[in-house]
Structure 1
Amino acid sequence: MTETVLTHPDRMVSVREVFGIDTDLKVPAFAERDDHVPDVDTAYRFNPDVTLAILAGFSRNRRVMVQGLHGTGKSTHIEQVAARLNWPCVRVNLDGHISRLDLVGKDAIVVRDGLQVTEFQEGIVPWALQRPVALIFDEYDAGRPDVMFVIQRILERDGKFTLLDQNRVIHPHPWFRLFATSNTVGLGNLSGLYHGTQVLNHAQMDRWNIVATLNYLPREEEVAIVLARVPGKNYDKGRQLIASMVAVAELTRKGFAAGDLSTLMSPRTVITWAENCEIFRNPALAFRLSFLNKCDEVERPIVAEYYQRCFGEELDESWMRTSEAQ
């Protein structure tokens, strides 16, 4: 079966109309969707600066890295931009199991005309390079050194990719795009929060044309996102409950920044907490199961205190801190 591949964007869209950003910019997009285009999430909230950085990657072929703490929606941000441009998009998580062969390709035994033959099967990098595809490397700072040097060969805007096993040079498709997300900026696990991240080669970091930082959203926007994900809470008391949940999350982030906590609550966790409230009908129990039990036992009284401040309700862990003080 022959794969149908769109060759180039065939229309221009207004950034103001599609993304709600006050600019006259227009960016290329595809009129038709294919199987690799992400689904549109209508509840997603775009950060204007990060969105413009990602759009520069799509329209001007810039290599864009989005850096930030976990749960800020880095990969989703790129995907949702691609979804609105109908741009095919493929994500690769650079965990410890991804090898050079996974990216480049390898010989495999296949059956043709009843006979077993050895045939080269392309990896994700040569496959994407030859198509108008946005390739996203997730957890970029966790990649193995041999994998990172494979990627370095395609970081140049017009970089050619050589398949040594095939004696073949691949020229990038004019509309191939490359993105990455990372928790750090290539300096390793300085905070102690992201074990397994690597100190990246500075020459490689230098090849990323744009590095955007994605922080947590303002409280009102985060509340709106949670309500969009859990519409069952979209009434007066439900909105108050979600606002209190986001307030607890903000306190954990401040506590993390001050060095009081080693764990913080991401927007993803707040959504999980709200969903669990629908199941257990008890915000305190849902909080314990969604976040508190993930925290270090020594830090749980501090987190329970945050909960008490926002909800006016004591948790058992609060009494632990009181008894220890006595």
Structure 2
Amino acid sequence: MNDAPETAQVRKLFGIDTSMRVPVATPPPELAEHVPQIDPAYVFDPDVTLAILSGFAHNRRVLVQGMHGTGKSTHVEQVAARLGWPCVRVNLDGHLSRLDFVGRDTVVLRDGVQVTEFAEGILPWALQRPVALLLDEYDAGRPEVMFVLQRVLEREGSLTLLDQSRVLHPHPGFRLFGTANTVGLGNTSGLYHGVQRLNHAQLDRWSVVAALDYLPAEREAEIVVGQVPGLVGRDELVSGMVQFAALTRSAFAAGDLSTLMSPRTVIAWGENVEIFGDVARSLRLSFTNKCAEDERALVAQLFQRCFDADLDDVLPATA
């Protein structure tokens, strides 16, 4: 990546009405494989896109919060793809330790002799390169991992490797993003087992926090059709699927369902419709079987409202 990358108009790249300009770059050959592939069918949320672009353009630390399936991680990746910016995605699951994140001493064979060398973890590796590091499931990280980020979350924050007696300063092209299902308050909804209550001194270091909600029905339908080309021209079917998903979300909010249908699940439903040729069967395989036994009658009622058919009936994909 060049030291002074060219800039482009956000209006031209993303169709958002703003005068903001963002850097576009040509990554070095060794990092080219980390530039995400452009999804031409991806639909951007204007507010979240501008928040993410502020991270790339002004080195802000951006945390994207929202429920599952809203496309938080993909949103960051697709912005990076259009900027030509290498992006490395890391899941902060409960198995990622501090040593995995920062690095550890390893024994290697050099000229037939065993020697001890320090193997960098993903954080120091990314910090020294023009890379956007995306911390997925940020609110599920282990406490000892989270505190490593405390200094790095500051704009020019360095990283001290105690084992190496080294201080690493960030590359000018290093960027840091995170995604989370919650806002640091823990599993208040019961949906996200394994997430942690976040230290608010650290949460305060994220200079931009964007909220990504489920899209309006028309936009969600565009995404579904874009991801499942076999549904092109089946507007009535796609509209019913999106309406059904919206009803499950309302039922979840009211406490009548213990789960809800995310856009990811709607897309999976559409893909299964192509495979099985039956809307009802595809719904059972994509969503209904995830619900509690005593909730399936309500799911059937919602299906009846959207498709004027019983969930046990065969409903061909052409309906």
How many Å separate the matches in 1 of 2:230 and 2:172?
46
Counterpart pick for 1:35 among 33, 45, 48? 33
Aligned to 1:3: none
Letter in 2 for 1:255: A
Residues 62-211 of structure 1 correspond to what in structure 2 (within 5 A)? 62-211=60-209
Residues 1:26 and 2:21 are matched in the alignment: yes
Aligned to 1:243: 239
Does the 8 Å contact 1:8/1:30 carry over to 2? no
1:153, CA displacement in angstroms?
2.4
Does the 8 Å contact 2:2/2:25 carry over to 1? no
How many Å separate the matches in 2 of 1:14 and 1:157?
24
Aligned to 1:55: 53
SS at match of 2:293: coil
Q: Against the structure 1 CA distance between its residues 145 and 234, is the aligned structure 2 distance closer, same or farther, given a 3 Å change threshold?
A: same
How many Å separate the matches in 1 of 2:12 and 2:215?
22
Identity %: 66
SS at match of 1:298: helix
How many Å separate the matches in 2 of 1:67 and 1:80?
17
Aligned to 2:297: 301
Provide the TM-score with structure 1 as the length reference: 0.93
Which runs of 4 or more aligned residues in structure 1 lie more than 4 Å from their structure 2 counterparts after TM superposition?
Answer: none
SS at match of 1:52: helix
Letter in 2 for 1:313: A
Give per-residue Cα distances to partners, 1:203-241, cap 9 Å, x unaligned: 000101011000111111111111111111212xx2211
How many Å separate the matches in 2 of 1:82 and 1:315?
41
1:118, CA displacement in angstroms?
1.1
How many Å separate the matches in 2 of 1:193 and 1:17?
38
Aligned to 2:7: 12
SS at match of 2:163: helix
How many Å separate the matches in 2 of 1:286 and 1:51?
33
How many Å separate the matches in 2 of 1:61 and 1:313?
52
Give per-residue Cα distances to partners, 1:67-106, cap 9 Å, x unaligned: 0000000000000000000001001100111000011000
RMSD: 1.2
Count residues in correspondence. Answer: 310
Q: Against the structure 1 CA distance between its residues 283 and 9, is the aligned structure 2 distance closer, same or farther, given a 3 Å change threshold?
A: farther
